[in-house]
Structure 1
Amino acid sequence: MKIQCIKAYQVDLPLYEGSYNWSGGKSVSVFDSTIVSVETDEGITGYGEVCPLGPFYLPAYATGTRTGIAELAPHLIGEDPTQLLPLNQRMDIALKGHPYVKSGIDIACWDILGKVSNQSVCTLLGGRYGEDFMLYRAISQQAPDEMAAKVATYRAEGYRKFQLKVGGDPNIDIERIHAVAELMEPGDVLIADANTGWLMHEAARVVRGVRDVDVYIEQPCLSYQECLAIRQRTDHPFVLDETIDSIEALLRGHADRCDGCRQH
């Protein structure tokens, strides 16, 4: 089996709430998604998708996806799409960096492998754990009472996990967290996601201001080390994602924390 053709389709995905707002005044009203199709000489086609959250969130943007795919595609014609490791190595040779561009092609080739082997991609990746999972609802950054009203609406729809978009004025963020926390019931999960929007002194003010609230703090500051410093000032559980760009960075942070504990 060989790759015969790679195509990219642009699709607009309007937001149900009209806009999605988070720290630093960032917002998006339409997700610019790219659907990737990888066609083979045996008539089997795989599909993938790349949908970055605008160019100001992570180093990925929609038009870059499609431009990158146009650059990559000629280098992949004739390759076996079921040989995932060699294919990804080929992509890395043909285009340095830009992993988000390659992800849609990679997903499409996993889809082909699943169709060829008559297995779900879930099975190919190791199998399914559990029969169900709880979704969480992101709450776009607005005034505290408006965010609380949205949480009340979504709770009525069955949601029990809520991610508040904070990372703005610390005083208002404290109000936002308290306003929503008053609606929480046993079993609910509340996350305050700053999207790296606070400076360290602002993050410190917020964790002090909500020390009586059962809330996870997500991505308070720009760097992993800054987030770690804030974590050491509070008992709140933390969630980190976009500041963790490698296992090495995570291990370095763990080693630094252990050294700090030994010194004290």
Structure 2
Amino acid sequence: MKITAIQAIPLSFRLPEGKTVTMGVGSTTKRDAIIVRVQTDEGITGYGEAHPGRSPGAITSLIHSTIAPMLMGMQATDVVGAWQRVHRMQLSSHGLGAGAALALSGIDMALWDIRGKAAGMPLCELLGGTRRRLPAYAGGIALGYQPKESLADEAQGYVERGYKALKLRLGDSAAVDIERLLHVRKALGDGVDILSDANTAYTMADARRVLPVLADIRAGWLEEPFACNDFASYREAAKITPLVPIAAGENHYTRFEFAQLLEAGAVQVWQPDLSKCGGITEGVRIAAIASAWRIPINPHSSATGLNHAATLHFMAATENAGYFEACVSKFNPFRDMFGGIFEIGRDGCVEPPAGPGLGVEVDESLFEKYPSIDGPGYVVKF
């Protein structure tokens, strides 16, 4: 079964008034996604999701002009061979490393979808796991900068839906972050796991002020306080308190960058995104490295149901899997465009789809509703 066509389909939607969320990387104005379709000479089609990296046109062009031609005619089931070819010809030279990783991620995900469909098996079983229930937290683009009272109300709403963990956005200012954290903990009580994400907006001074408070409220982690390549700051922050793990990984690409995290010894929770890190093939390798050091894998998940489905299957076959990041964004048509991929239970858990491959039925007619929109997805104030 050979690859006969690879196409990237960029999609966008604007956020309606009142649905914008503000966090450390800015205020959302629109959301982008890239669906990757891989076709074979046996009529099996696979779908994946490539993260747009704030430049969907660039990633789409990279797939069409550079990476797809490398893979045409290869065996569609040879995910390791396809990965290695792109690594040798693009990732390891000629720059565009992060962009190539995003592009490859979507193709790799689609190839695994093909493998599962060809075998008639859900991806989790193909990877050596089984359909099992996974703990989830309320995440996505939600719980952003807002008055502490309305933030607590939003958080309580997710708890009432069944979530036993949720993630608050930090990075506004240390003083305001602390006020919100304390208020939400008081409102929710001790039975909910509060996670936190600064979206790279912190200084070391911010981290020194906020981490002791996170320890006091027994927060599950502090995510991405600093830029992804600021290893010195991560090492220093890890010394402040052993009670709050430092999390990162959604902006790290391939196992080689995760190996740098391991060498730095500063990140205790790894968060690869299957639409960014190099796909499912590389996600499995990253999780294996982490398992040897008892590092939990809590994947970051992106815009569409394809990424959500792939992540659920991947986690169900990963021994050191932690939380699934459930998108609870108030407005995200990409999340539900292929049907409800996950449903939170009263136990606070979700499970992978049941069908072969990713278990997602893709209706391409829906793509016409979301043509790609040029321009930034966030408004940033400096």
Give the TM-score range, shorter chain. 0.7 to 0.9
Cα pair distance change 1:21/1:182, threshold 3 Å: same
Cα pair distance change 1:121/1:20, threshold 3 Å: same
Aligned pairs, number: 248
State the percentage of identical aligned residues.
31
Cα pair distance change 1:210/1:103, threshold 3 Å: closer
Give matches, 1:1-264, under 5 Å: 1-13=1-13, 18-24=19-25, 26-52=26-52, 55=54, 61-71=55-65, 72-96=67-91, 97=97, 98-128=100-130, 130-137=132-139, 138-215=142-219, 216-222=221-227, 223-242=230-249, 246-254=257-265
Cα pair distance change 1:156/1:131, threshold 3 Å: closer
TM-score (norm. length: structure 2): 0.59
Q: The residue matched to 2:265 in structure 1 has which SS? A: helix
* Amino acid of the structure 2 residue aligned with 1:32: D
CA contact (8 A) 1:224 1:244 kept: no
Deviation at 1:14, TM superposition (A): 5.5
How far, CA to CA, are the matches of 1:15 and 1:239 in structure 2?
31
Deviation at 1:118, TM superposition (A): 1.6
How far, CA to CA, are the matches of 1:251 and 1:40 in structure 2?
38
* Amino acid of the structure 2 residue aligned with 1:23: G
* Amino acid of the structure 2 residue aligned with 1:249: Q
2:271 aligned residue: none
How far, CA to CA, are the matches of 1:153 and 1:192 in structure 2?
18
User: Which deviates the most, 104-113 or 225-234?
Assistant: 225-234
Task: Structure 2 unaligned segments of length 5 or more: list them.
Answer: 92-96, 267-382
CA contact (8 A) 1:140 1:165 kept: yes
How far, CA to CA, are the matches of 1:49 and 1:15 in structure 2?
20
CA contact (8 A) 1:136 1:159 kept: yes
How far, CA to CA, are the matches of 1:236 and 1:218 in structure 2?
14
- Once the two structures are superposed, residues 4-45 of structure 1 have per-residue CA deviations (whole angstroms, 9 ceiling, x without a partner) of 111122222566972232115x13233211111111111111
TM-score (norm. length: structure 1): 0.83
How far, CA to CA, are the matches of 2:196 and 2:134 in structure 1?
24
- Ranked by relative contact order (alpha carbons within 8 Å, sequence separation 6 or more), the top structure is 2
Cα pair distance change 1:104/1:190, threshold 3 Å: same
* Amino acid of the structure 2 residue aligned with 1:139: L
How far, CA to CA, are the matches of 1:157 and 1:247 in structure 2?
34
Aligned CA RMSD, in angstroms, stands at 2.4
Q: The residue matched to 1:88 in structure 2 has which SS? A: helix
CA contact (8 A) 1:9 1:34 kept: yes
* Amino acid of the structure 2 residue aligned with 1:207: L
CA contact (8 A) 2:137 2:167 kept: no
How far, CA to CA, are the matches of 1:251 and 1:132 in structure 2?
25
Cα pair distance change 1:171/1:129, threshold 3 Å: same
CA contact (8 A) 1:13 1:33 kept: no
- Once the two structures are superposed, residues 68-117 of structure 1 have per-residue CA deviations (whole angstroms, 9 ceiling, x without a partner) of 11122222221111111111122234433221111111111111111112
How far, CA to CA, are the matches of 1:195 and 1:4 in structure 2?
39
* Amino acid of the structure 2 residue aligned with 1:40: T
How far, CA to CA, are the matches of 2:116 and 2:165 in structure 1?
32
How far, CA to CA, are the matches of 2:135 and 2:213 in structure 1?
32
* Amino acid of the structure 2 residue aligned with 1:29: T
